[in-house]
Amino acid sequence: MKRIVKFLAPILILTFSVSLFMVLRASKPELPPVETQERVWRVEVQDVVPQTLAPSLTLYGRVETPALFKAAAPAASRVQQVLVREGETVVQGQLLIALDARDFLPRLEQAQAEVAEFEAQLRSEHIRQESDLSALEYERKLLELATQSVERAQRLQSKQLGSDSELDQARQALARQALSLSSRELSIADHPARIQVLEARLDKAKAGLAQAELNLERSQVKAPYAGRIATLDVAEGNQVAANQQLLSLYDQATLELRARIPVPYLDELEQSQAAGYPLLGYSVRGSRRIELRLVRLAGEADPSGIDALFAIEQGGAWLRSGQIVQFTLRLQPRAGALAVPYSVLYGEDRAYKLVQGRMQGVRLETLGSYQSERGVEQLLIRSDQLSSGDVLVITHLPNAIDGLRAEAVADE
């Protein structure tokens, strides 16, 4: 009996437990089913209003000038005075640097003496020619007399009234006179050549005098035009060599901006220039604004692009040569364009518009960047899948897909 009880007791306990669990489960109150709600993403939106807008290109340019005046020493000298400092503005004709005049006056005086010497030689040559011409007649008469003396001596000798020595003396006198006449005629004939030589030497001396006068004048370095001192390369007391640079100067009105244009924009710029469309740019730094205009493209290019030269139309008085300026270049306007934040873009050419509370993908054409008058940089886009009145999602969602539920955040 005890064995039967020990065997049945666990079975009864297990049966009772299962029965109790079933009773409790059956008496459990019914819970309503859990309904899952789709999440609604709150996003910022922008109404699509197509406009005609000009893309902009941000460039960095270096201020330079094609007309940089460089003053050099005309000859070896010592710097006597330096009357300006680097960065100063000067007026036309202002004395900038004075070299020691004592280094130039001796050469000037020497050149003046050479000119005077050759002028005197020319006058002497003209006097000599006049003398030769007047003496020529006397030389011919003397030759005639010498000839007559020889003839007379020959007649006397033939009559045995004269000696051989008298005839020889007469012949010698005739030969000497003939030689004298020949020398006189040669001197007269050579007169034009001697004049030409002396005139050439005089011209050379005058050229040396002009150079000496010019060197003396250039020893006083003056501003050829109003401008700004770019560099100052010497100080008072310095010894300088011939052609050594003393300073450089540029006219503020000749400053221009050189900037590198990337290869993708070259065709557009060249087409705009060919069509006569002015490409304008601007730069804003604090309260200062510079207006620029593309005037030409450089003559050489490389694989990275080509340099463009921009004229400074307004506001460039504070610029300095060599300065780096960031500026914005406006390209030709595009019709049907829309300026949006960069956050609107997914990948290279995809965005989303909001249609009946759900996001719908659209394909975009990116036209470049756009800078508003307030200086805010945006993305300029255009799309055939966007129409006026559409709502474009500008909040960038990492999980954005077609059909994602979203609602616009109301503007405060």
pLDDT at 131: 76
**Percentage with pLDDT > 90 across the chain:** 43
The predicted model gives 297-313 an average pLDDT of: 90
Phi and psi angles of residue 360, each rounded to the nearest 5 degrees, phi first: -130, 125
Domains in the chain: boundaries: 43-53+334-408, 57-65+255-330, 69-99+222-249, 105-216
**Residue 412: is its pLDDT beyond 60?**
no
Residue 167: pLDDT band by 50, 70, 90 thresholds?
Answer: low
**Residue 34: is its pLDDT beyond 60?**
no
pLDDT at 409: 87
pLDDT at 92: 95
Model confidence over 106-135: pLDDT tens digits?
A: 999 999 999 999 899 889 888 887 877 777
**Looking at 60-74, 134-148, 179-193, which range is the least confident one?**
134-148
CATH top-level class of 69-99+222-249: mainly beta
Residue 160: pLDDT band by 50, 70, 90 thresholds?
Answer: low
393: closest CA among 347, 349, 345, 338?
345
Which amino acid type is present at position 373?
E
Residue 364: pLDDT band by 50, 70, 90 thresholds?
Answer: very high
**Residue 20: is its pLDDT beyond 80?**
no
By the 8 A CB rule, do 297 and 308 touch? yes
**Residue 232: is its pLDDT beyond 90?**
yes
Quote the Cα angle for 291-292-297, to 5°: 180
Residue 142: pLDDT band by 50, 70, 90 thresholds?
Answer: confident
Q: Report the DSSP beta bridge partners of residue 365.
A: 382
Using the Cα atoms of residue 184, residue 186, residue 190 and residue 192 in order, give the sign of their dihedral. positive
Determine how β-strand 245-250 pairs with β-strand 256-262.
unpaired
**Residue 210: is its pLDDT beyond 90?**
yes
Quote the Cα angle for 76-80-86, to 5°: 100
Average model confidence (pLDDT) across the chain: 85
**Residue 31: is its pLDDT beyond 60?**
no
**Percentage with pLDDT > 70 across the chain:** 84
Model confidence over 273-300: pLDDT tens digits?
A: 888 889 999 888 888 889 999 999 888 8
Range list of H helices, 159-282: 164-189, 191-218, 266-274
pLDDT at 175: 76
**Residue 105: is its pLDDT beyond 90?**
yes
DSSP string covering 251-264, please?
-GGG-EEEEEEEGG
Model confidence over 346-362: pLDDT tens digits?
A: 988 899 999 988 999 99
Which amino acid type is present at position 342?
Y
**Residue 404: is its pLDDT beyond 70?**
yes
pLDDT at 170: 66
Structure-model confidence comparison of residues 29 and 54, the more confident one: 54
**Residue 246: is its pLDDT beyond 50?**
yes
Residue 95: pLDDT band by 50, 70, 90 thresholds?
Answer: very high
Would you say domain 43-53+334-408 falls under CATH 2.40.420?
A: yes
The predicted model gives 185-207 an average pLDDT of: 86
Strand residue runs (E) in 44-146: 45-47, 51-53, 56-64, 68-72, 77-82, 89-90, 95-99
**Residue 24: is its pLDDT beyond 70?**
no
Structure-model confidence comparison of residues 248 and 41, the more confident one: 248
**Residue 186: is its pLDDT beyond 90?**
no
CATH of 57-65+255-330, one of 2.40.30.170, 2.60.120.10, 3.10.180.10, 1.10.1840.10: 2.40.30.170
Q: Residues in the chain, how many?
A: 412
